[in-house]
Structure 1
Amino acid sequence: MAAPQRPTTTTTASACIPDTARGTHVFTLAGYRLHKGIGVGNFIRSATFAVGGYAWCIRYYPDGFSSEYKDSVSVCVELQSKNSVVRALYDLRLTSRATGLSSLIFSRPSSFPAFDSCKNDNFRGAYTFMKRDLLEASPYLQDDCIVIQCDVTVLLKKIPAVALATTTTKTSDIQVPPSDLLNNLAMLLEGKKGADVVIKVGGETYHAHKIVLAMRSPVFDAELYGPMAMWDKEKQCIQIVDMQPAVFRALLHFIYTDSLPAMDDLLDSHDKREMMRHLLVAADRYAMDRLKLMCEAILCKGLDAESVAATLALADQHRCSKLRDACIEYIKLFT
């Protein structure tokens, strides 16, 4: 008699593997001391960057997120995509400009919090990112500049169930260094390599690159490449009148780095305010709207009884509606 056969047993397995996307944005903030005093709860946004098909930015609060955190700088991550609900992790770091090394300052726990732009609940962050006195004594503040690195990991909505029929190997993440484009452009300006135009301002001479000037300012574009080009092509030279050399240096720095230069050489708040006024005029002259708005914002925060009348006249002359409204409101409240 044949022995009974054992029943066949089949074992299967499956896994739910979250699908994520990760991205890094480096926010270089020049003029650290210049931004101090803009007020508790007021913030500066970084440029928009994309991770996982969504738009994000960094919020930097020089005077703290609220009065509870007024002794700290606050940093938040903001979801800018409209009508979106996104779950994401984020790390916030400070990077040393001298060494290029970064230190983790804030890390979101392992659970994915939801960013909901449908309900105006679209930002999360570190309200006590770093005490202001500690930051100012740290190596992360150099040349009146700090560098904030934000790593965002987005949990994508589609999470496929995968049958583990074969053994799979996940390759290690390749760490991509942060963008150094702005540093390269700053070095291009300082080193004069490839410069093809000379600019003379108030007895001082500057070397620059026509294509960079034209890319950043439609006025320079018309002057350098338009049919009515107003420069000496034989000498490759532009003469700029009615502008102080220091103001043009700040304008040129912004053209190459998209940031304001450090202004530690200015003696007091009056000198810095005067610089912002002249720089606003230069920004309007060369149709550089972002720089113009930055100057407006700084002047709005520095209004006082001594300067408000002159600032109002400047706002009227250069069509600065927000600055004009701030001046009028200040006059109504304090005079």
Structure 2
Amino acid sequence: MSISASSVGSSGAPPQPSSRSSIIAAAATGKHQLKIDSYSLTTAVPRGTHIKSSNFQAAGHSWYINYFPNGCGRLLKRARGYVSLQLVLDGAAADGAVKAQFTLSLLNQTGQPAPETVRKSPVHKLAGGWWFYRFIKKEELERPFRGLLRDDGFTLQCEVVVLDRFRAVKTAPFVEVPPPDLQRHLGELLLSGEASDVTLQAGGVRFDAHRCVLAARSPVFKAELLGSMKEGTSNCDIHIEDMEPRVFKAVLQFMYTDALPEVDKKEEAAMSQHLLEAADRFNLQRLKLLCEDKLCGCIDTGSVVTTLVLAEQHSCQGLKEKCFEFLKSTGLNAVMATDGFNHLATSCPTVLEELMSKLTLH
């Protein structure tokens, strides 16, 4: 609901507002994704028993989720064969309650909420927790064609909307200012090749680009290109050694648009590794951190050791610590037989010593 007001003139002409304002309900929103690993093991807990998530912040408040793999205890018969969930407000609000609405869903293989799993609560005042007694049938969750379980795990998305106050806002209905579109224009410039003054070759593929953009984005290209810019404006060729064309194309796209192309989920880890190496090579710090963050979410038994070597070689401390954390939880037995472990022992012995020290303390 909103209340609007307008200021009007006093002439006989049809009144036209000279300004407008509104009173609207202010809503704080937040999303949190909870990954449930080893689902088959969680189903071994007794009915009515829950597993508590870590606390998370959403919409200005602290929450946690109680996960009941075999149904909650309150309605044990009605919840039999279902997964039950309880969203809990951790700590009391200033007035003892929070007016909120919640939406819970399971993510499908594309990372989007599966429509058949979306559960939304009514808007209500919450002082404790909100139950989803019959969130989803276990047999539906476990059906392969649903695509909800992946590697014996699933991801739950929780969206919280808190209605906390009313506020007055000014609106500007007469002039609509569009969002910035510099990235789109630069992307089109790269795609068209218009006014290009440098050609880069990677793996036999030529890419037309613009010295000023490359120099502005990368200190490495700046050092290489500014000298030749002073000497003239003729086009020059630069050979990019030891880099696949698709990787360099993605690097160029990032330099022009600050965004990366969509990559198939199966190729995400490998592409992120290549791009991290390229980012370090061209001193693209934001791209490097983006890739480091993506790789933190791609670690598994088969890749953890090679990822650890990569992190050490390119000074990615956060990624390195994530690898250590993974190995602490799984132990070394699962990875010692891999080629990556032998590579770690020969190429990064100090990292292996650090790992062994951490595991011993653990």
User: Normalising by structure 1, what TM-score?
Assistant: 0.49
Identify the structure with bigger relative contact order (alpha carbons < 8 Å, sequence gap 6+).
1
User: Normalising by structure 2, what TM-score?
Assistant: 0.46
